[in-house]
Structure formats: C-alpha cells, structure tokens
Structure 1
C-alpha cells in the first residue's frame, strides 16, 4: 500500500517559518508531503512546489484592489498572484484525476486554494493566529484585506475537517465567531538538551529574536536597554519587506552603543543553541490588535528551550506562563518606563532563578504535547479520507 499523499500550503518563506517547518516534520511521519510556498524546500518535504518570491499572497494588483474595494470577495479569493501560481503548480502536479489524501492550509489566505485543490480530501485549516485582524493596525488592511479574511473564514472554516490555532483564547474566539471546533497547537519548539549558561554578575545579557517589523516594538527594547546601564541587548532579526528601513531605524536608535548589537538572523533550528549564551529573552509588544493581545510566539518558547529567564509585557498568555512557572518578570504595562522598571528588578540571583525555571519546565513547554494533537488530527483525517 502506498504512503498517503499530503499537501501542505503556506504562502510564507518555508525554511524561515518555524511553525510550518515543525508541521511538515510531523506530517512526514504519516506520508509523503508536498509543500507549496516561497523559497527552497523544507528538509522533510518529499516534493516542493515553489511559488516565486515576487508573487504576492494577497490581491494587491489593480484589479484585485478594485475587487476588494467593491466587496467582490468571492471573485478575489484566488486572484492574488501567489495563489494563482500555487493553483497552477498543484493542478499540474495532480493532473486530471489525481488527488491528495489530506490538504493542510496555513493561514486564512491559503484556505480558498486548499479547498479548490482538495478534490474531496479533508482540509486541515491551521489558522495560526486570528486571521481577520492580522494587521488591523494598518488602515489599508483594515479597510480592504480584513473583510476578505473574514469572508474566507466564514466561507471555508465550517467546510474544513479540522481547525487549529496557537492558544486557547483564540480557539474560543474561532468557535464563537465561526461555529467550528478549534484545537490548540502552540508555537512551541522541540525539547533541546541544553543547560542554563552561567549568569554574568557584572551585566544582564538581554536577547530578542524574530522579524524586524515595526509593530513588534523592538525599538522600545533598544530604548529600555539604553536606560539601564547594567543591560546589553543582542537582536537576531529577520528583515521585513520594507527594504531594511526598520532595521536601519533600530541601528540609528542604538546610536553606536556597544551595549546594542544587531545580528543576522539565525535558522529556526539553530536559535535555542545560539540564544543559550544570553541571560534574558525580552519581548514586549503592545496589544495593537487581537493577535498582539494574545501573543504566544515562537520566540517565547525558543527562550525557554535556550534556558533563558524572561522579561515580557503583560500580554495575558505570556504573562500567565511567566508567572505560573517563575520564568522571570512581567512589566506593569507596555511603556518604556514600565519595562525599564521591570529590568531594574533583575539581579544575578533573579536571572539565575529564571534560567533554572526554564530548565525545569523545558519539557512541558516543548512541542511534545502539541505533536500529540497534530498526530491525532492527521491520523483521524487520513482515516476518514
């Protein structure tokens, strides 16, 4: 009997998308995985259908924008250049009568493509975060793209065989808004066999990793570090699609300080070992939308696997885990002043305690429990295919 054929669609640079890489690894245990997305193939993929990096995953063409403005949402579901190319690639791969046994759609923008090519196969919608407000702090998204994402969710989630998201509050929100059962697959990475590095008694080595996107509030981390002489800050940042403007702004804000260092990004698999040499993982993103409010990102779990203490803002999900497990400090609010006050409570003893707490809870905060959820979904859907 041949292995099940699984299609995983993610209009993202796959080898830089930690969640999708973990997903493809898990899928590969159940069958042959064909991936659709930007950039080179993930290591676990059997076959990869590469969408050209210049082909946008949203309908930002003149006709697409006109359709969004006129609320012709059905008409523009598959009009984005990246989705059209993905459709061509998958249809060529399938031929006239073939089909996959399971189709996985990552994020709402992939849902119309997933359901178009499923040909009767079950579709698992991994929504990651709250789709309709992904960039709702941006006016054009709120006016044009948000209604499309809302339409896509309302149209396709009830027709999906499984729906997942990153945390319980968002799962409850999907159930409330769209009437679908929604399971939780956190952004946790695999358990790493690391131990806490020794704390430096003379300084506190802060570190932050992720995308260089303005809404992530990395500039506040720079400002706060400059205000606390005992702290240094190392940034491992993936450039955003802004031509490097935000990275350049962060560099200017650092003002040549030898306490702020901006590094090239590190591959997701290498991050915990790279971060292990530091003391405190720092992240404080204000609740500019629903996703920011309930943020529980890859970096939080990377900090745990790196055996770091945490310094975070009062986002409910992160704050809950930091307090529950004694991982570090939570600032009173999202301001620079509050974060500076939180940093000033960190002494070598507090840093050591936070690092040891990450070490104790690294297994529980790894992807082991999430992989059980994924395996359950895939086994169930392949059995029903």
Structure 2
C-alpha cells in the first residue's frame, strides 16, 4: 500500500525547485497532499491553499516590526507561529487520510507537523534549505525574527524523525549548534535530452534566478562592463523586492552587452538556457547561507549543458573538484569573475559543456528520485 504523505510549505511549491522536485520524485510511490501558501496545482498531488499574510518584510509598518521584536524579546513565539492565515492548517491535516509522513519545507510550519504527530502516529521529515537562524544577518532581524527561528530549531527540530540539508557546511552547522544530524540532498532538475550547443561568437553568458541586494546581484552589471566587446550577458531575473528589480533593469539599460530577459517557468528554464555558453553564479560570501549555498541554478546550468563560472564559494569549489564542469574566480569581485570568463578559450568552454553533458543523467531528478524514495522507505521502516 502506498504511504500517505503531506507536504507543508509557506509558499507556492510550483515556484520553488526543491519542494516541486520532491513532489515529482514521490508522486508515483505515495499518495501526496500539499498544504501550501497560495498553492497552485501540482501533478500527482492533492493541493490545499492558505492565504499569504497581509504584510511582509517590505510592507510591515514600524508598529508591526516593534510588535514582532517585543514578542521575540519576551519569548512569546506562539502568535508568530499560529497566525490567522495559518489557522486552517490543523483542520486540513486532520481532514486527510491518516498520514504516514509529513515533509516540512519551511521550519516555521514545523510546529503544525509536531502538533499532528502528538495526536497521530506519523513521521516528520524536515528540509533544511538554509541555516534558518541566520536567514538574514542584519542587527534588526537577528534581534527579532532571528530569535524565533532559533527557538524553532531548539524546540521543534529534535522532534523530527529526519532532516535533509542543502550543503555539507550547513549540515555541519545544524549539528554543531543544535545537535541535529541531516542527510545531504541536492535539488536536481529533471533530465533533459539535450546536446551541448556550439560555442558562440560573441560568447553568450546567462544568469537566471533571484536577484537581491543581499546576493550582491549588481555584480552582474559590473561583470558585463568588465567583459565588454566579445561577450553578451543575459539576465533572466526576478526579485522579492520590486524596487530593487526596477533599479537593476534601469541600470542595465545603458550597458550595450547586458540584456534583460523575462522570467520563464521552472519547466522552461533548462531548454531556454541550452543555447548559451556559460552559466554565471555571482553569489557573494556576504552571509553564512550565501557562503555555503549549493544554488539550484548550478544543477540547472549543468542540465542545460553549459560551462559554469562561479564565485569561489567553498561548496562549489569542492563540487567542481569532483565534477569538472566549470571554474571559480579567484575572489568575489566582478573583475575577478570577468578574468575567469576571459581565461576560457572557445575550445575550453566547449570541453566543459561536453563534461556537463556527460554528468546530465547522474545529476538529474530521475537519479535523485531513487534517493528520495529510499530516504522515505528508511523513515517509514
């Protein structure tokens, strides 16, 4: 009999690669239910939606921020966990067939899984997509919501039966700070039957994904200026901050070799990038989570059969030592990233693209699905 598995997510899972791909990995071996904020339909899963909060980090008033800090200072975290928007989650969980496993994609929703587990016998698997107590590292956040996330880790993570983690250094930090061991699990995209495109002239670079001030994304604009003639950089970008996105697009406009592309769906990213030469990862080491990230775009670039050029994040350097699909710059500056790009001849770029092709099946959802299913089998006994 197929197990009943529910996923809890504080976002639309169709717009986030890790949960979306986990659903794809398990839908043929389990009855899947998704309870998510502003949920969209997922193939192979029954989906339930709860509303987004009325305000967020961008729109909160000074009074709302002061209330959050006061609650965190007093250790009164329940009002921040059990919000009115999430009030229907317990009833939704209880309405489902008895669950064998709850997969928690956001630690803020872990208390709901723990509450269900107290009433019913089930297992909990938490996906640690980052080191949550350092989601942001500015003083205001650390003294406010940072305390909430530390509380969630201290009180609720020990109640989980298993944890997945995005990178080895982040897994090590959870073990060090909270005594929580986790399984390294990459977010691998579906296999695409593509071949590497011939290297272009001029050489075409692509960056796709989120941009933000915290990620140091204006580095992409400086990279375009540094590279100049002979290189075209295309930015297929979106942002959680509309003002930052508008500013980025405005600053890109006068740069002749920098082009803005409209975002595409998750399913379209890989084929749409196949015609490029180099996939760029420009993430800065400005925070613990940035420094130790394994970005989804790394694996999407590989599946697109691109050469990858990245800033020297430790996790990516270690990955490149095993999978020779690209190079890292010597430091995090745009000039260093440009130097790394210019150091590659057309033949070398093509060689990296061919290597990416050789790893495409190994580094795919189809390969990863076997691991996901085994992890679930081991948890459920």
Same fold? TM cut 0.5: yes
Aligned residue for 2:40, secondary structure, equals: coil
Q: Which residue, 71, 75, 78 being the options, matches 1:71?
A: 75
1:16 maps onto 2:10 in alignment: no
Q: CA deviation at 1:253?
A: 1.9
Q: How does 1:1-385 map to 2 (within 5 A)?
A: 3-55=2-54, 61=64, 63-73=67-77, 75-76=78-79, 78-79=81-82, 81=83, 84-92=84-92, 94-95=94-95, 99-118=98-117, 119=119, 120-136=121-137, 138-200=138-200, 202-228=201-227, 229-240=229-240, 242=241, 244-383=242-381
Cα distance in 2, alignment partners of residues 21 and 12 from structure 1: 11
Cα distance in 2, alignment partners of residues 336 and 326 from structure 1: 22
Q: Extract unaligned runs of 5+ from structure 2.
A: none
Cα distance in 1, alignment partners of residues 236 and 38 from structure 2: 20
Cα distance in 1, alignment partners of residues 111 and 13 from structure 2: 19
Alignment: residue pair count: 372
Cα distance in 2, alignment partners of residues 250 and 312 from structure 1: 20
Q: CA deviation at 1:175?
A: 2.1
In the TM superposition, what whole-angstrom CA distance separates every residue of 1:211-244 from its partner, at most 9, and x where no partner exists? 132222221112111221221111112231x2x2
Cα distance in 2, alignment partners of residues 89 and 237 from structure 1: 32
CA RMSD of aligned residues (A): 2.2
Q: CA deviation at 1:185?
A: 1.0
Cα distance in 2, alignment partners of residues 40 and 72 from structure 1: 29
Aligned residue for 1:207, secondary structure, equals: strand
Q: CA deviation at 1:93?
A: 5.3
In the TM superposition, what whole-angstrom CA distance separates every residue of 1:77-110 from its partner, at most 9, and x where no partner exists? 524x3xx433414414525x96422111113222
Q: CA deviation at 1:307?
A: 0.3
Aligned residue for 2:5, secondary structure, equals: strand
Bigger CA drift: 296-305 or 323-332? 323-332
Aligned residue for 1:158, secondary structure, equals: helix
Cα 1:108/1:89, change in 2 over 3 Å: closer
Aligned residue for 2:209, secondary structure, equals: strand
Cα distance in 2, alignment partners of residues 57 and 76 from structure 1: 15
Q: CA deviation at 1:195?
A: 0.7
Contact 1:203–1:230 under 8 Å retained in 2: yes
TM-score computed with the length of structure 2 as normaliser:
0.90
Contact 2:192–2:303 under 8 Å retained in 1: yes
TM-score computed with the length of structure 1 as normaliser:
0.89
Q: CA deviation at 1:48?
A: 1.4
Aligned residue for 1:236, secondary structure, equals: strand
Cα 1:300/1:162, change in 2 over 3 Å: same
Cα 1:179/1:360, change in 2 over 3 Å: same
